[in-house]
Amino acid sequence: MQRRDFNSLIGLSSIGLMSYATPISHNRKIIKKHNFNLNYAPHLGMFKHHVGNDPIDQLNFMADIGFKAFEDNDMRNRDVSLQKKMSITMQKRDIKMGVFVAHQIYWNKPTLTTGKKKYIDEFLNYIQKAVDVAKIVNAKWITVVPGHLDLRQNVAYQTSNVVEVLKKASGILEPHGLVMVLEPLNFRDHPGLFLTKSPQAYEICKTVNSPSCKILFDIYHQQIQEGNLIPNIEKCWDEIGYFQIGDNPGRKEPNSGEINYRNIFKYIHSRGFNGILGMEHGNSKRGKEGEELLISAYKNVDNFI
């Protein structure tokens, strides 16, 4: 990954953080800035064929297009110097920081469901470290995945174990105004995980009973897992803190699959949602053509007013 020098904030402000008053050509055609109705959040790599791999160039390109948010699952693993550089860029370009993954996720073995002290301590240590990262990048939301089922225990006991550790994590996050968002994942892509459905996440959040424990409603995962998207969003509404996007099948941009994203976004907007909708998906076509198709798709599904 290429990185610019971080020798002075003055140089960064004058070169890397330029705000463009007119549409700009990115080596292919003029891309006009769009005033999106919701805070859709791209991730790094989504526009690399237009501006390369430099994170600052990518953030500036997102802002040029009109995106008002950004998410980065890997933010906690990036160098602190890069975290600071990205944070300054987001502030200058008025981009909200979305989620990053707060902890090590174990996909193939039970951890938080077991109730074992070593897993609880490790998780809470990650949560404490996530607070430090969130302060640097001005993040409010962090992603949490409770991990694999413990097949040696009744699911009720597992649920109790998960609730107890999430209560402790909430105690760490609440003083800082941070929110962990629990992500139910589908059985096809992630078989054997404990948290899979939105009603299950809703029950856990109600039991934890903290403003720092909410649901990450990933529309792609829940289309596969349970369908009935708008009614389930409505049922879970008061516990949803964050959305993520991906069409099905394929987990690509809206209009590449079967999900009626225009109607879903219309409903979310009608509820006054001012949070972030993370674009956690790939591009259905490669290269610049695919990136331009993605931009057009979001303009299309955002046209619900």
pLDDT exceeds cutoff 80 at 12: no
pLDDT on residue 22 = 41
Tens of pLDDT, residue by residue over 70-119, are 999 999 999 999 999 999 999 999 999 999 999 999 999 999 999 999 99
| Stretch 271-275: mean pLDDT | 98
Return phi, psi of residue 216, to 5°.
Answer: -95, 105
pLDDT exceeds cutoff 70 at 176: yes
CA 194/CA 150 separation, integer angstroms? 8
**Predicted structure pTM score:** 0.90
> CA–CA distance from 219 to each of 86, 228, 255 (Å)?
27, 10, 14
Both tokens of 110, joined, read: 């039970």
Tokens 């225009």 found at:
262
Name the average pLDDT for the chain.
Answer: 92
Helix axes 117-137, 155-173, angle to 10 degrees: 40
Tens of pLDDT, residue by residue over 205-264, are 999 999 999 999 999 999 999 999 999 999 999 999 999 999 999 999 999 999 999 999
Cα 270 → chain centroid: 21
Query: Which domains, ranges and CATH numbers included, belong to the chain?
Result: 40-301 (3.20.20.150)
pLDDT exceeds cutoff 70 at 132: yes
pLDDT exceeds cutoff 80 at 9: no
| HSE-up of residue 226 (Cα within 13 Å, Cβ side) | 19
pLDDT exceeds cutoff 70 at 25: no
Q: What amino acid positions are annotated as catalytic residues? A: 183, 280
The DSSP H or E segment spanning 97 is: strand 96-97
pLDDT on residue 32 = 87
